């Protein structure tokens, strides 16, 4: 099974600042996704990270707030910009790709637990 590393695992940030979350996979993957899990809520898809091009954002999420990069087939970053307490959530990276367990639609990282003061 793929090893998906997310950094940082948790952080506490001041409002108005920005934080970049990294997702590193130990094998090449075809698709990478970013989700948000607000306290007591389900996972909501933020965007699909596209290699070499702009991410595809879901309704309610915009690039200015959540810029995403994916420079290659094993790495992606999500930035949470100009943070407010409402951005306090768990942010999860997930991947799909050849060589991964085909029984699973997506493989998830352990998430980044973000608190905004």
> Which residues lie near other proteins (CB under 8 A)?
4, 6, 31, 33, 41-45, 48, 92, 94, 96, 103-106, 108-111
CA distance 51 to 12: 29
Between 35 and 87, whose beta carbon lies closer to other proteins? 35
Find the radius of gyration of the CA atoms of the chain. Answer: 14
Instruction: Report, in Å, the least distance between residue 61 CB and other proteins.
Output: 14
Between 54 and 110, whose beta carbon lies closer to other proteins? 110
Largest CA distance in the chain: 41
User: Which residues have a Cβ under 8 Å from the Cβ of 60 and sit 6 or more positions away?
Assistant: none
Instruction: Report, in Å, the least distance between residue 8 CB and other proteins.
Output: 14
Instruction: Report, in Å, the least distance between residue 82 CB and other proteins.
Output: 26
Please name which of 46, 31, 41, 42 lies closest in space to residue 81, comparing C-alpha atoms.
Answer: 46
Instruction: Report, in Å, the least distance between residue 96 CB and other proteins.
Output: 5
| 8 A C-beta contact, residue 57 and residue 63 | yes
Between 41 and 72, whose beta carbon lies closer to other proteins? 41
Between 64 and 101, whose beta carbon lies closer to other proteins? 101
The owner of tokens 């980044």 is: 112
């Amino acid at each position: 099974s793929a090893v998906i590393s997310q950094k940082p695992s948790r952080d506490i940030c001041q409002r108005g600042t920005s934080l970049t979350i990294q997702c590193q996979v130990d094998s090449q993957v075809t698709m990478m996704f970013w989700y948000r899990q607000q306290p007591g809520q389900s996972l909501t898809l933020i965007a699909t990270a596209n290699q070499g091009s702009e991410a595809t954002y879901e309704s309610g999420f915009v690039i200015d707030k959540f810029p995403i990069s994916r420079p290659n087939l094993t790495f992606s970053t999500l930035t949470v910009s100009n943070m407010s307490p409402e951005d306090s959530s768990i942010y999860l990276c997930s991947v799909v790709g050849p060589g991964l367990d085909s029984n699973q639609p997506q493989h998830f990282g352990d998430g980044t637990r973000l608190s905004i003061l």
